[in-house]
Structure formats: structure tokens, C-alpha cells
Chains A and B, each alone.
Chain A
């Protein structure tokens, strides 16, 4: 599946929810399902610092695809992180560098991206694309 196909899937999932509780329960669930990050990658340099919560992001190449693993200390951010990993991980660095992440806007969660200072999500998206550019250069 392409990045946009995964985004469309997520948008379709969220269309099923008609209240905030089911929407957030789903995000929380996504957060819980995100595989625990290998502690060796939970390093200072992999931290994207928000004012309130932390995000860890680790990137590596596997069979020509750029892979991400990530974590956060807050569960809702972890859910959003989980969605970002689901959308972007496993694609070529070129696709990731060029990606247009519209799904957060479409499902009404873009305010979390806007809160740069509090959760570091916007920096995480930027960082994921930056890895795309960086690994593109390496290849």
C-alpha cells in the first residue's frame, strides 16, 4: 500500500466514529498497540522534546525501505505517533521525503500537530521527512 492509501484507510476508519469518545478511544487503543520501542534506541539523541510530553523516534533501512520505530510517554501522543509510523514506515526514503500528510487534518486531529511546544509531534513529522531526505542521499 502506498502512503496515501494508508492515509485513506485511516480516514475511512475515523469516519465510523460519531463522537469524540470513540475517536479518542481508538487513538488510545492505537497507542497501546504500538510495539514497545527497543530500549537501546530510547536515547537522548532520539528524543524529540515537547514541553509536556516526549517522543522518541528511531529510523533505519531495511531492504531499501525506511523503517521507523517510535514511542511517547503520553498515551494519546503515542496513538498519534503510532498512526504516523503506520503511514510512513516501510516506504522508500523518496516517498517519505515527498509525502503529504493530510490525514490528521482530515480526521480533525491537526490541532495536535499545531501544538508544537507541548508535544513535539510537528517536529516528529519534520524529522521523519528529514530521515527520508537523509537516507535518499545515502543510497
Chain B
């Protein structure tokens, strides 16, 4: 199947791409770190501040009503995007990290006790490691790690052996940011539920590439960031099943999250507001809907098909560059290409590609334990989005040849 998207026209929606960096046309291959934003999102941001800016939920004036309606429309759009049963189960956060910390604080501190076990995997981002380490230290819980194979896939047999009645929470990444691996999360969830454990999925990398259906997955929590799916920074969400969210105490106090406050006792607001203390990130929340609309309009499947073409093209081309080794060769991958070149430090690759106008990510990708697993201090990572082209990949490969020549 070939994609039918008109990439030339899509590129016109992203004004940032039309620029020259270090004398060369910008080639932006750092999409796993953050994607660029379409004009519709930029317009929504300035439109909000230019026309509708008001604090939401409490105001009775027209601007407040407009802002509130747009804010809640975004929640509904996100609900539809991940197929959550209701908009109340979609809590706005500042991103995936914030969402995971919310679960660690509000769920973990309340429901986990000494001796309970939390399972994560070797390929987790630091944001899905450190909050659990902090929780384990405080509560006396144990962190168990699912190992991976050399291709960068989870060892599912080992996972099953880790599961027991002590397992209270499994928190794994849906798609690896450093390797691109798509994990068999449905199976992970089923097996965790069989021992009575809850499951949180870190969806930061998955949402721009895959259809997300939290009901079909049956996950208990799903964390995501808007800035990785063509939306604004500082904006994300946590999906949680209603009965679990209802049972969780709030962990941040303030305005918005209360029903009634007296000095004797405060009662808390309902979902989702219970977890949204203070004035939220209104502008970015509102603009998020425009990012989701943009993706929906292109079609997730069309995007995935096209990105797969880019990945296959790049994988084949880079395989011909002498000394290159791809890190992460899972059967199921999104458009993330992590690699090392024999005898060349990843930082040198990044600096010399930048001189050619090519932006990639180098380093440990906030996955130091994963790098240790591969015996690496870091990799170079090119990650592709819907606006990238095979011509850009050609230029990137030429750039790598130049790097090799200069450092050889």
C-alpha cells in the first residue's frame, strides 16, 4: 500500500520548514523530540490570545464562555482521539511526564504499600523510571525491569515471570523513543490484569504514529504529550478509567479542583477538575484541538503508511553507509532510526550534520539504562514525520558520507 498524501501541500502547512539553517535548507529529523506545528495550531494560539482570552469555568461574561467552550471542546476532541469512554476521564496535564507523576503521586502513594511491585521495562524514558523510583523509595515498593533482546524488543517470557500477585502496577512505553519499537501492549495489559495489576502506558511517542483506542487496549492509564503530535508544548493529558480516578485523592490543591472550601473542611470537585488545580494552560489546550483535527484530516492510517515508507527507505539507504549499525531493529517499529557509526562519537555526527542544515538528536535520549543495555554512551537518531521526504533522506545520507569523510 502506498500513501496518497500530498506531501508538497502538507509542507506548506508548516511555515517553520521553509528556512535556511547554516546556509542550507532545514531538514528537520528530530520529530521524536518534538514535531513542528501546522499553521492552524499557530492561528489558534494567536486567535485565542487575540480574541477570546479569559479565565475559564468561573467567568459569566461572553469571553469566559467562549474560552470555556473551546477548552472543553478540546477535551472532547482528545477523548475522541484516544477513544476514551467519556471526556471526564481525560485530565489535562502539562505533558507525559506530568501525567506519569500524577499517577505516581495520586495513585501510587495512596494505593501502593511496602513490598508491592511495579514493573517497567529496560527501554523506558527517564520520565517513566524516576517517578517510580521516588515512589519505591518512599513506600518501600520494588521496581522490576522487563529485559529486552538485541533487536530492541521486550522479552515477553521474562515479563510473565516477573508478574505475580505482588505486582500492583505495570508502567511501560507504548512506543520506544530511542528505538522506535512498538510494544505488544495489549498482551502486556491482559497479562497484568490477570494478576490484578493496573497498567499505565506512556504514549508520548505512539500518538503521532498509531491509532490509539484506550478501550480496545483496556489500559488503566494512558499518558501523552501534545507537542509530539503537532500540537503546542506544555500540554498533555492523562486518560484514566473512571472508577480508578474516582478512587484517587487529588494531589495538587488550589482553585478549580474544589467544590466547597471552609477552614474546617474542603470538598473536592468532580472529574476531571479534581486533578486540574489552578488556571490551566488554556491557550495550548484550545490549540491542541487544531492539531488533532489536522491529524484526523490527513488520516492516521495515511500518516502511518507514509512514515513507514520513509522508515523503510531510510533504513535501506543507511544500511549502505559503511560502519553504520542500526540500534533498534524490532519487527514492529515507528519512523525512528537510531544508529551508531564505528569509531565516530554521536555528538560529532550531530554537530557536523547541523552544519549541513540537518537536525537530528544525539545522545542517550533520556534512556540511560537502555543505552547501558546496548553498551553505548548514546546514539544518533533521525525520526521522521509526515512532512519529511525521501529527498531529505537522500540529503541526510549524503551528509553522513560527508561526516565519515571528515572524521575518517
Contacts and interface: CB of A to CB of B under 8 A. Distances in A.
Interface residues of B, number: 19
Given A53-B347, A118-B363, A75 B22 contact: no
Interface stretch (B188-196, B272-280, B348-356): B348-356
A28 B347 contact: no
B346 interface: yes
Contact of B406 (A25, A73, A112): A25
Given A24-B352, A24-B355, A51-B363, A119 B406 contact: no
Given A20-B355, A76-B348, A118-B347, A28 B363 contact: no
B108 to A, nearest CB: 28
Given A25-B406, A28-B407, A52-B378, A20 B22 contact: yes
A73 B347 CA distance: 10
Nearest to B345: A74
Contact of B362 (A52, A75, A77, A112): A52
B215 interface: no
A21 interface: yes
A20 B356 CA distance: 9
A52 B406 contact: no
A75 B355 contact: no
Of A25, A51, A52, most buried by chain B (CB within 10 Å of CB) is A52
Contacts of A52: 346-347, 350, 362-364, 377-378
Interface in A36-52: 51-52
Contacts of B363: 51-52, 118
A82 to B, nearest CB: 14
Interface string A41-77: 0000000000111000000000000000000011111
Contacts, number: 43
A77 B347 CA distance: 9
Contacts of A77: 347
A70 to B, nearest CB: 16
A120 to B, nearest CB: 11
Of B345, B346, B351, B378, most buried by chain A (CB within 10 Å of CB) is B351
Contacts of A51: 363-364
Contacts of A75: 344-345, 348, 407
Given A20-B22, A24-B355, A118-B363, A74 B406 contact: no
A31 to B, nearest CB: 9
A119 B346 CA distance: 12
Given A20-B355, A24-B352, A52-B362, A74 B347 contact: yes
B351 to A, nearest CB: 5
A76 B377 contact: no
Nearest to A75: B348
Nearest to B363: A52
Interface of B: 22-23, 344-348, 350-352, 355, 362-364, 377-378, 402, 406-407
Given A53-B345, A118-B363, 16 more contacts: A20-B22, A21-B355, A21-B402, A24-B352, A25-B406, A28-B406, A51-B363, A52-B347, A73-B377, A75-B348, A75-B407, A76-B348, A76-B352, A77-B347, A118-B347, A119-B347
